[in-house]
Structure 1
Amino acid sequence: MSGEQTEVLVIGGGYAGVMAANRLTRRADVNVTLVNPRPEFVERIRLHQLVAGTDDAVVEYRKVLGERVRLVVDTVTRIDTAGRAVTLAGGGTARYDYLVYAVGSGSADPRVPGAAEFAHPLATLEEARRLRPALDAAPSGAPVTVVGGGTTGIETAAELAAGGRAVTLVCGGALGPSLHPRGRRAVAGRLAALGVTVVEGPGAKVTAVTRETVRLADGRELPSAVTVWTAGFGVPDLAARSGLSTDALGRLLTDETLTSVDDVRVIAAGDSAAPSDLPLRMSCQAAAQTGPQAAETVLSRIAGERPAPIEVGFVAQCVSLGRRDAVLQFAAKDDTPRKYVLRGRPAAKVKELICRSVPWQLAYEARKPGVRTWWTKDPKRQELLRARAAGDPAAAAQPA
């Protein structure tokens, strides 16, 4: 499109959206607009710290967003792919030549009686800010129940317990299901040392939440002055409402270049993308890799070149256990947990280094778009996709 400006609209200013927007500024003939519902970047991996009062979990966009990226604080309510425009909640529309769909994820509908009314979700900045005063209002010795045995639940339970709260962690199954048994044992040991009561196993599924209790499938009723809900994540239904194809969770279905299966001018990134109906684990680690690769797909199409398939891999999961402890669970590139675990103060330092490095990575991409290419690459993904294409029953049964 020599001599013309190409308008690219990025929906969502999280890890994937900011990385994509910054990468798109590689070309001077591309105008980049980022639409986000809030005027500040949310460090989602620090929301449990916001709740405990140890961090505010936000960074000014001017520190992580490229100067050529135009920020529009608003919410997209509909995508009109035929007209190449989006409708904004604040009124009016915004047109695009290409659209990057990076709306991220949020709290899933708990579908448990009383949970929506009496439990506090913890997936967004607004939810964390509502939870903080609820905790402050509760007496220091009041029982706090955290529902969800994944990383968010573990980190929240540990952070609150380290601050002197009486915490029960209800896993609804196994503690830390994405961890290796060694990692689980390390997490369990630290939680016990912090005084967290861990409830796991088949009977630990929550069946109801009231103002003062949490009821379990095995009949137990736990007292709870404040209930925190971290069990599961969902994605906004914007794509589905706009007539685009999605998977069962509402993630935009794409090919391996992150291009929508319905429209070559719509490209997805981060938690809201389901490439080849084989989505990556919802995480900052995946978003920081798919964001710039989504931008590269757009840039390739503008240049009239064939976009490259994504190359994404994982290194580890790091679970903070208060400010002075953590567990670093090493993983294979395909996100399979390995038996190697780092724990204690050294792991906590690594975790903090990772958290601090994320805004730095965003800012680095803003300053030098296109330089960062050192993400991990998982060759097993392509093997799995080839097996699926060949009709391998085992590969077809692989969970998405």
Structure 2
Amino acid sequence: MNGNGNGNRDVEVVVVGGGYGGVTAANRLARRDGVSVTLVNPRPDFVERIRLHQLVTGSDDAVVGFDEVLGGNVRLVVDTATRIDAAERRVSLAGGGTLPYDYLVYAVGSGASGPGVPGAAEFTHAVSDLEGAQRLRSVLAATPASDPVTVVGSGPTGLETAAELAELGRKVTLVCGDVLGPSLHARVRRPVARRLAELGVTVLEGPRARVTEVTRDGVRLDDGRELPSTVTIWTAGFRVPDLAARSGLRTDAEGRLVTDATLTSVDDVRIVAAGDAAVMTDTPFRMSCQAAVQLGPAAADTILRRIAGKKAAAVRMFFAGQCLSLGRDEGVTQFSYPNDKVNALSISGRPGAGVKEIACRFTLDKLVSGARKAGSRASRASRGRGGPSRSAPDQWAGRR
């Protein structure tokens, strides 16, 4: 008998969300005998969110088949989770089915934030999810290269998107708000600003450089300026889906599932989280791929320890910094202390771009390696996918 009191049957674990956190959790769990893992995701493919800005310009498609990154011992269900019934331990799906579980990994990720600015919902585009990036690519393809493009927000997504478009010859204005690259050290902002200037990006920053209205053909700033903009791209912030809140689980003000230091929901010991859609109240972490690939295995280990009748351990996070591509030819790597506080060390230029590409490839290679350890594709073929239910894709899978 296992530590869960399930007799001889496998412990059923359902992973909701197939981004970086969900995939790494599923693969780690599927390596353990006696554990049956089902991953629910609204798309049939894995999305490399850290490459979505490249999809916009056509230098990468940002999509990898789940057969590459998900172990053969993991059952894939292509559908969208609509509700978690913690009392009955089951997940309701948009396609009409339900999935029972003994443990659940909550890894639904994040998507574009609601701007809350007049006209933004109607007239802006997002890069934070696959469908948004694909729509933006189509819109840009139909837009003359000389037409003005405005990128709102200068976090990593905004910086990378603005640089990628400008490198192709687009006329780009980057509206930063208070400061260019708020997550960067002041000294590291200098090579970023220099590179954007070389690419011809107009950078607007300062206390009144905030968008107050978006129209079909322009944006208005807090200081009254009106900027012509044929295509406006909103990259300022992320939000999480409301699945936890709709399911009656405790969330913070941003809708993230509240967990303890072991990533366990404060409401239910059977629900463990990984990635952007959760928050450890004592140890908050930055929404990022770098966090997700640590949180996925940690969530799996919490569940595996409970199955074995052991006490779950507190999660320890380690951060190395942030990698930015500024076009295909240059980039900046911002180093940080292990607690994610940035320092003045950086690598810029072509070496910076090289580090970013290495980081992207290394992350994907780690997923592929985890999939191999979690069973062969032949074993998946013999198990089958259980007749996955399919529904229209939504924006919540995947991770920047």
With structure 2 as the length reference, what TM-score do the two structures score?
Answer: 0.91
RMSD: 0.9
1:89 aligns with 2:89: no
2:390 maps to none
Match status 1:53 vs 2:58: yes
Identify the match of residue 370 of structure 2 among 357, 365, 368.
365
* Matched residue, 1:246: 251
Separation in structure 2 between the aligned mates of residue 96 and residue 25 of structure 1, nearest angstrom: 14
Identity %: 65
Alignment pair present for 1:344 and 2:343: no
Q: Residue in 1 aligned with 2:225? A: 220
CA distance in 2 between counterparts of 1:368 and 1:309 reads 25
Residue type at the aligned position of 1:87: S
SS at match of 2:254: coil
Q: Which residue of 2 aligns with 1:74?
A: 79
Q: Deviations over 1:75-103 (max 9, x none)?
A: 00000000000110011111100000000
Look up the equivalent residue of 2:186 and give its one-letter code.
Answer: P
Which residue is equivalent to 1:166? 171
Q: 2:124 aligns with which of 112, 119, 124?
A: 119
- Name the amino acid aligned to 1:20: A
Aligned residue for 2:307?
A: 302
Quick check: 1:149–1:173 contact (8 Å CA) kept in 2? no
Q: Say whether residues 1:196 and 2:186 are aligned partners.
A: no
Contact 1:253 1:277 in 2 (8 A): no
Q: Find the aligned partners of 1:230 and 1:277 in 2 and give their Cα distance.
A: 28
- 1:257-299, CA deviations, whole angstroms, 9 ceiling, x for partnerless residues? 0000000000001001101254310000000000000000010
Task: Indicate conservation of the 8 Å contact 1:247/1:277, yes or no.
Answer: no
Secondary structure of 1:171's counterpart equals: strand
SS in 2 for 1:71: strand
SS of residue paired to 2:193: helix
**How far is 1:316 from its partner?**
1.2
Q: State the secondary structure of the residue aligned to 1:203.
A: coil
Query: 1:38 corresponds to which residue?
Result: 43
Distance (Å, rounded) in 1 between the aligned partners of 2:69 and 2:201 = 36
1:46-81 Cα offsets, whole Å, 9 max, x none, are: 000000111000111111111100000000000000
Q: Residue 9 of structure 1 contacts residue 32 of structure 1 at CA under 8 Å; is this kept in 2?
A: yes
Cα distance, 1:173 vs structure 2: 1.7
Give 2:21's aligned residue: 16
- Tell me which of 249, 256, 273 is aligned to 2:278: 273
Q: Structure 1 residue 243: deviation in Å?
A: 0.2
Whether 1:355 aligns to 2:376 is: no
Q: Give the 3-state SS of the residue equivalent to 2:150 in structure 1.
A: strand
* Aligned counterparts of 2:179 and 2:193: Cα–Cα separation in 1: 11
1:364 to partner: Cα distance: 1.4
For residue 283 of structure 1, what is the aligned residue in structure 2? 288
SS at structure 2 position matched to 1:182: coil
1:274 and 1:316 mapped to 2: Cα distance? 20
Alignment equivalent of 1:234, drawn from 231, 236, 239? 239
Does 1:27 pair with 2:27? no
Task: Find the aligned partners of 1:113 and 1:297 in 2 and give their Cα distance.
Answer: 44
TM-score normalised by length of structure 1 = 0.91
Equivalent residue of 1:239, what SS? Answer: helix
Letter in 2 for 1:142: D
Q: Return the alpha-carbon distance in structure 2 between the equivalents of residues 16 and 94 of structure 1.
A: 20
SS of residue matched to 1:247: coil
Q: Which of 113, 133, 136 is the equivalent residue of 2:138?
A: 133
Give the Cα–Cα distance (whole angstroms) in 1 for the partners of residues 217 and 13 of structure 2. Answer: 49
* Aligned residue pairs, count: 369
- 1:348 alignment partner, SS class: helix
The question of whether the paired residues in 2 share the 8 Å contact of 1:257 and 1:294 is answered with yes
For 1:276 and 1:189, how far apart are their aligned partners in 2? 38
Q: Name the SS of the counterpart of 2:195 in structure 1.
A: helix
Deviations 1:220-249 (A, max 9, x none): 000000000001100000000000001111
Q: What is the CA–CA distance in structure 2 between the aligned matches of 1:139 and 1:278, rounded to whole Å?
A: 47
Q: Secondary structure at the residue paired with 1:202?
A: coil
1:366 Cα deviation after fit: 2.1
